[in-house]
A = this chain, B = another copy of it.
Amino acid sequence: MSTLVKDLTELLSSEQVSTNETVLHQHGQDESYHEVAEPEVVVFPKSTEEVSAILRYANEHCIPVTPYGRGSSLEAHVIPYSGGITIDFALMNRILSIRPEDLLVVVEPGVSRLELNEALAKHGLFFSVDPGADATLGGMVATNASGTTTVRYGVMRDQVRDLEVVLADGTVMNTGSLAAKSASGYHLNGLFAGSEGTLGCFTKLTLRVYGIPEHVMAARATFNTIEEAVQAVTTVLQVGIPIARVELVDEESIRQVNRHDEMDFEEKPTLFLEFHGNEAGLKQDVEFTTELMTDAGCQSIQFETETAARNHLWEARHNLAYSYIHSNPGKKMMVTDVCVPISELSGAIHHAREQLEAVGLVGGILGHVGDGNFHALVMVDMNDAKEVELSNQFNESIVHYALSKNGTCTGEHGVGIGKQKYQEAEHGEAYHAMKLIKKALDPNNILNPGKIVKVD
């Protein structure tokens, strides 16, 4: 047994410290195509005090520490390329309190979003951020996750009211309060949300929740061109219709779903929409939306209010990723994630489609079009050096286009390792300021080193 493992076993208990090969391997990967790298040891703390003890120890001995939720990240956030200790928050998974009057919950970082939603439903409440995967809430705050509902309810950072954070040296602090707004101190909630474990480990999260909407209506609308679909969404947002979700799927991807799932969706650029509100308001929103979309060139539009019918209407969108994965056995999915101002979205998608055709890889485009965030999916054989190189070139070309339009290299997947190389190009002098902050809060660079900022 190494000194490290022995010391950690003394700080915790033997069943909370693992060097089991399967456990190490599981904590050496995420859901992405990035290279596997294992930690030296995985620990499973049960309390803030234990997390603090681990960090104090690691800081004294300059041992890298990587926090881990469920490993559903897509840019290698949780892969410990410098080895050291991985902290798995699986045992810190209690919902500590639900405060319906304050529309707040307090949870430990290991609770997943579906677990939370199950508990909230009894109170007529729901948690709004839906990144697809059933990630832990700690991981979702760490990566500033978002998804289909962001156009209405905001990103993960917008839901954070307070975080209990353990800093590199073991200090425990709170980044916020329970007040709905504050002009006190620096905005540490915002700084720590999205910091990907590089500034501290979260041990308690106070998050905003919402009342389940009275009525929900889903829609699917087809267009002849992506430009028309994007223009339709722009107009609807401009007049202030509060769409809850609006997703774009290109015709290539609809074709893929039809082929794989034996469906017969119309093979055109398609918008999937959802509206939340009261019955009368939704009716008027839907009428106005139909009018605006028709003016923008909409070819067909269908609405559904019943849950089953709504789900059926959205099926092509939901099945998209799996359809690509199952149709391409042995290949890994690489996903781009740029976000551009919405006025630049048509152009950016057009460019992505051209590049996709140029590299000749199988793939499609889908977008959280209300935010200007879109994904180009490509299926890559990771053992084929040429395919890997082409997919990297493709990703780079998409990123450079987005940056040239004053967009960002990552709308929601985060930096991790995959987008590290674009940080300086995107942030310029601000990247230097980020390094100063990292150095000030983690002088020994033990916290998820190499992610977001590279310090010397």
Contacts and interface: CB of A to CB of B under 8 A. Distances in A.
A23 interface: no
Contact of A281 (B285, B402, B431): B285
Interface string A152-196: 000101100000000100011111011111111111111101110
A250 to B, nearest CB: 20
A370 B102 CA distance: 10
Pick the most buried of A101, A188, A414, A423: most chain B CB atoms within 10 A of its CB: A101
A373 B185 CA distance: 17
A426 B101 contact: no
Interface in A416-456: 419, 422-423, 426-434, 436-441, 452-453
Contact of A430 (B173, B214, B430): B173
Contacts of A145: 183
B427 A103 contact: no
A211 B184 contact: no
B180 A341 contact: yes
Nearest to A102: B341
Contacts of A280: 280-281, 283-284
B179 A339 contact: yes
A439 to B, nearest CB: 7
A202 to B, nearest CB: 14
A184 B340 contact: no
A237 interface: yes
A413 B181 CA distance: 11
A432 B165 CA distance: 13
A189 B285 CA distance: 33
A160 to B, nearest CB: 10
Contacts of A150: 181
A409 interface: yes
A434 B182 CA distance: 15
A234 interface: yes
A405 to B, nearest CB: 8
Contacts of A288: 278
Contact of A190 (B143, B157, B284): B157
Contacts of A431: 185
Contacts of A178: 340-341, 405-407
A281 to B, nearest CB: 2
B277 A99 contact: no
Interface of A: 99-104, 124, 143-146, 150, 155, 157-158, 167, 171-175, 177-191, 193-195, 199, 210-214, 234, 237-242, 277-285, 288, 337, 339-343, 370-373, 402, 405-415, 419, 422-423, 426-434, 436-441, 452-453
9 A-B pairs with the lowest CB-CB distances in the bound complex, closest first = A281-B281, A190-B190, A173-B429, A211-B240, A440-B440, A179-B339, A182-B408, A280-B284, A178-B406
Given A178-B341, A183-B413, 13 more contacts: A102-B342, A102-B343, A103-B237, A146-B183, A173-B427, A177-B408, A180-B339, A180-B341, A183-B415, A184-B409, A190-B190, A212-B240, A277-B281
13 contacts: A101-B234, A171-B429, A180-B341, A184-B427, A185-B415, A185-B423, A185-B426, A187-B187, A278-B281, A278-B285, A436-B440, A436-B441, A437-B441
